[in-house]
Amino acid sequence: MNKSSKIYVAGHNGLVGSAIIRKLESKGYQNIVKRTSQELDLRKQAAVEYFFENEKPEYVFLAAAKVGGILANAKNPGEFLYDNVMIQTNIIEASKNFGVKKLLFLGSTCIYPKMAPQPLKEEYLLTGELEPTNEPYAIAKITGIKMCKSYNEQYGTNFISVMPTNLYGPNDNFDLKTSHVLPALLRKVHEAKLNNSPYVEVWGTGHPFREFLHVDDMADACVYLMENYSYKEIGEIINIGTGEEISIKDLVDLIVSVVNYRGDIKFDPLKPDGTPRKLTDIQKLNKLNWKSRISLKKGIEETYEWYIREKKYE
Ligand SMILES: NC(=O)c1ccc[n+]([C@@H]2O[C@H](COP(=O)([O-])OP(=O)(O)OC[C@H]3O[C@@H](n4cnc5c(N)ncnc54)[C@H](OP(=O)(O)O)[C@@H]3O)[C@@H](O)[C@H]2O)c1
């Protein structure tokens, strides 16, 4: 990629897409193409083909997707499967047809089997059953991975697939019906503080372990891989994470201290926990000389400041 290359960031308003835009702009890339879902519904094949034919992007970051937490996935499995398969299929096919030099497909660590050994190595893909609560979403993502791989093999494209761990940061989704665990907890604890609530209820036991990566670190890794490594060097997939894990209980404690909430936390063990442990093995990424830089505490502090500022809370 050079600074005047035409780069299409699909999903530029989202958590990941907006961080990729910030990173590209900060590095001096000047020719970035964006479309909202209102302007271009990526589920519509003819519209996507027309867009690629006219814009002819040279590089594509595929960060558009239908994304959500356990509740949203459980309520809308058909939508999660359909939207994601359509969005990624249309973009990957059009990228092949209109000569895109390199594409980066955003997957997720939910593609790994529920009971895979930890930490999760790239080679564990398709070695066991998936976590049932997000199986349709994971199947869509696995389809995207296999499509990139198959197109590289059949058509000689250079499409890479990255599997980021749980992300958080500015522009995250704080809607309690559809959000992931970290922004949901941040909001719940913040509102409990504002309302002087005596306690906050948290789904599950608090025992599962999770890994969290600041989205600016993740964007840095994506741009780094696009600039420096090809599909042949990366292989089918590559994890992006910190390699460090924290229990949900300890995460809640960290959030409580950042927000400065004085009430109690009540865990509801009748609600689902999801996968017991999810930590990425990041040896492959480390060998390509990339490491995350933003600590979880600093990242949560920054995200909380952003949330208060953007949501116009006191
Ligand atoms: N968040 C995480 O923790 C996480 C972790 C690992 C991997 N990822 C991956 O990163 C990618 C992006 O996730 P995110 O968290 O950034 O999601 P997000 O904040 O919900 O953003 C998704 C973006 O996709 C766009 N989009 C959705 N449906 C569309 C459609 N039909 N047509 C056009 N655009 C559409 C939306 O555009 P508009 O805003 O214009 O509607 C939105 O900007 C996903 O592939 C996800 O699997 C995320």
239 inside domain: yes
Tally the domains of the chain. Answer: 1
Mean pLDDT estimate for the chain? 95
What DSSP letter does each residue of 255-297 carry, written as one string?
Answer: HHHHHT--SEEEEETTS---SSB--B--HHHHHTT------HH
Averaged pLDDT for residues 65-80: 88
Task: Give the CATH number, domain containing residue 227.
Answer: 3.40.50.720
Among 137, 168, 231, 304, which one carries the catalytic annotation? 137
* 151 a catalytic residue: no
Is the Cβ atom of 178 under 6 angstroms away from ligand 1?
Answer: no
188 inside domain: no
Averaged pLDDT for residues 37-59: 98
pLDDT band for 314, please (50, 70, 90 cuts): very low
Averaged pLDDT for residues 294-304: 97
Averaged pLDDT for residues 127-145: 95
Q: How far is the CA of 262 from the centre of ligand 1 (A)?
A: 34
284 inside domain: yes
CB 145 within 8 Å of CB 107: yes
Q: How far is the CA of 68 from the centre of ligand 1 (A)?
A: 9
* pTM of the full structure: 0.94
Q: How far is the CA of 140 from the centre of ligand 1 (A)?
A: 14
Q: Does position 11 have pLDDT exceeding 80, yes or no?
A: yes
313 inside domain: no
Q: Which pLDDT score, from 0 to 100, does residue 247 have?
A: 97
Range of the domain at 40: 7-171+212-243+279-293
What DSSP letter does each residue of 8-60 carry, written as one string?
Answer: EEETTTSHHHHHHHHHHHHTT---EE---TTT--TT-HHHHHHHHHHH--SEE
- Summarised one tens digit per residue, pLDDT across range 184-242 is 999 999 999 999 999 999 999 999 999 999 999 999 999 999 999 999 999 999 999 99
Q: Which of 294, 158, 122, 121 is nearest to 221 (CA)?
A: 294
309 inside domain: no
Torsion of CA 223, 44, 33, 229, to 10 degrees: 20
Q: Which pLDDT score, from 0 to 100, does residue 312 have?
A: 55
- Summarised one tens digit per residue, pLDDT across range 266-285 is 999 999 887 788 899 999 99
Report helix, strand or coil for 156: coil
Q: Tell the residue nearest (CA) to atom 34 of ligand 1.
A: 37
Q: Which residues contact 142 (CB under 8 A, 6 or more apart)?
A: 107, 111, 125, 126
187 inside domain: no
109 inside domain: yes
Is the Cβ atom of 197 under 6 angstroms away from ligand 1?
Answer: no
Which atom from ligand 1 is nearest to the alpha carbon of 137? 47
Is the Cβ atom of 110 under 6 angstroms away from ligand 1?
Answer: no
Is the Cβ atom of 20 under 6 angstroms away from ligand 1?
Answer: no
Q: Which pLDDT score, from 0 to 100, does residue 74 have?
A: 86
Averaged pLDDT for residues 174-181: 85
12-16, 69-73, 100-104, 174-178: lowest mean pLDDT where? 69-73
Q: Does position 313 have pLDDT exceeding 70, yes or no?
A: no
308 inside domain: no
pLDDT band for 39, please (50, 70, 90 cuts): very high
